[in-house]
Chain A
Amino acid sequence: MRQWNLLGAWSLFLREVRRFLKVKMQTIMTPALTAMLYLVIFRYAMGDRHVPGMNVDYFTFLVPGLAMMAMLQNAFANTSSSMIMGKVMGMHIYLLMAPLSAFEVVVAFLAGAVVRAVVVATVFLLVLMPFVDLSMPHPGIVLLYGICASIIMGGLGLIGGMWARDFDQVAMVTNFVILPLTFLSGVFYSVKQLPEFWQVINHANPFFYLTDGFRYGFLGVGDTDPYASVGVVLVTVVVTVIACWQLWRSGWHMKE
């Protein structure tokens, strides 16, 4: 007999949202500010230069990429920090003791990550509204890529948080895996600017497709065809969710 515990999942989701809202300076303002600093620096370093092969100036090109980078990093941070905090403080046992299915737990965590990512990106974009043309010719693509990227990153954060034994190990994954992959996902450049070798490397980075598709939604130009990549992105989302679900169900690194 299958008994859903929707209220339980909803409560967990609300806690995930409240958790980051309680420290909004750190979780929302800091990422938005960091992205803006990058923007200012590159604006003055690059001047009015246009991106080669695209009909946009460098400033406009950077905005969606930085928004995406903030979403990726914050979605990861939300689930990974919640998991590791729960483990270090011992609170995670309430998730194990509660009558929640693994699927409910995973959905609640991922939804929390999506909300955090969307809030950070929205704050960032709202501040920039007066300075840049955000006409967004393909809002559906923006939404699809933004949410899928948050789910994938939230999922990776969940797995990283489950795997880690302490805050240090989470920091290690963040700094050595997540930061390089997001920085090298084509936020600051168009791959066409790169030597061929690096172009190939970039095409192997899954986050490249997410960033590029997201930017296409905003600007109508990109290095890849976002409609062609949708399938890959959706498959990645499904694989990530299933991986989280099965790992949680098995008690991997959570139950002795």
Chain B
Amino acid sequence: MNAFEINGLSKVYENGNRALNDVSLTVPKGSFYALLGPNGAGKSTMINILADTVRPSSGTVSLLGHDLFNERNWCKRRMGVVPQEIAFDPFFTPREVLRFTSGLFGCKPDEAWLDELLDRLELTVHAGKKARQLSGGMRRRLLVAQALVHRPELVILDEPTAGVDVELRRKLWDFMRELNDAGTTILLTTHYLDEAEELCDHVAIIDHGALLTAQPMRALMRDIASSYLWLNYGQAVTLTDADHDALAGLEPRSSDEGVCLKLGRSENGDSTFHQTYQAAVARFGPPLDAGVRSEDLEDVFLRLTRRAGGDDAAAECKS
């Protein structure tokens, strides 16, 4: 059973902005899913459609096998959403807000659970303050608590850590990981790609409203992330046409201190490190230093989204 099955979802805003274009995506139950994309990619639009604050133009979504658009309230009871925009009610304190939100979702406020939420989100000492006295990061954490009051099976977080300091960000992710270990499905957006890479087991990248890729994190890093061999010659190496011909397939590029070649896998799955190194030495002589650098999620993200933007620049080749 999948948490979400999104099919052909599109959204055209009233001003003609096409924010989502035929996106199909499956979020497995129990996954920790990262939805990534540059600013304006359409992430929040998608989340807001799931949350019922934006109307879809077309497409279908099934949530745990139920039609989201026809069984809204059944679905809403099982879903907690942290919106990207900070929202707060200046009249009420965090504790009052959490009680009210519990009620809205049809749950009698479970004080023990509210205490735990306040505690885990480091809001206990602020629980009695008026919302307008809270700082930006505290308000954001309150939104996270609000999304969890009814113990939803699916949690959707739209940039939950924006404006949250390093230590509290760690704590927040620890908490999310615990929830995930206990079976909660988590779908999040973030611009901290290192955090996404570390935490999430699935990833989808969208840009300009279109899905670029959606796969398990490991598969993405194995199949799309490349590795590079860098060789340090103490100075930039000018690549001639002859070099390009000789090293065809290795995508040679000169860097500040030498040269950089792409590693691949031979037919039996072994790394081509040895051949590549020997080819480089044959062309340029023995290097002062050499090493392998693997692309991380950020590199893959940049490569994919730049291409989508029409700019086919390869990932940077740093040592």
Interface set of A (CB-CB < 8 Å, partner B): 1, 3, 5, 7-8, 10-12, 14-15, 18-19, 22-23, 85-86, 89-91, 93-101, 251, 255-256
Closest-by-CB residue of A relative to B91 is: A22
Are B104 and A255 in touch, CB under 8 angstroms?
Answer: no
Given contacts A15-B100, A22-B91, A256-B13, contact A93 B55 (CB under 8 A): no
Across the A-B interface, the 5 shortest Cβ-Cβ residue pairs: A11-B103, A90-B87, A99-B76, A99-B73, A98-B104
**What's the Cα separation between A19 and B100 when bound, in Å?**
12
- A sample of 20 more A-B contacts (CB under 8 A), given A1-B74, A99-B74, A99-B105, is A3-B74, A8-B104, A12-B103, A12-B104, A15-B92, A90-B83, A90-B85, A90-B87, A91-B89, A94-B146, A95-B104, A96-B51, A97-B52, A99-B72, A99-B73, A255-B53, A255-B55, A256-B13, A256-B48, A256-B53
**What's the Cα separation between A255 and B49 when bound, in Å?**
10
Contact of B76 among A11, A15, A98 (CB under 8 A): A98
Total count of chain B residues near the partner, CB < 8 A: 34
Closest-by-CB residue of A relative to B71 is: A1
Closest-by-CB residue of B relative to A100 is: B104
Interface on chain A toward B: helix, strand, loop, or mixed SS? helix
Given contacts A19-B91, A98-B104, contact A5 B14 (CB under 8 A): no
Closest-by-CB residue of A relative to B76 is: A99
Interface on chain B toward A: helix, strand, loop, or mixed SS? loop
14 A–B contacts from the bound complex (CB under 8 Å):
A7-B106, A8-B104, A11-B103, A11-B104, A12-B103, A18-B91, A90-B86, A90-B87, A90-B88, A93-B87, A94-B87, A100-B73, A256-B13, A256-B53
Judged by a CB distance under 8 angstroms, whether B307 is at the interface is no
Contact of B51 among A15, A86, A91, A97 (CB under 8 A): A97
Judged by a CB distance under 8 angstroms, whether B108 is at the interface is yes
Are A99 and B51 in touch, CB under 8 angstroms?
Answer: no
Judged by a CB distance under 8 angstroms, whether B54 is at the interface is yes
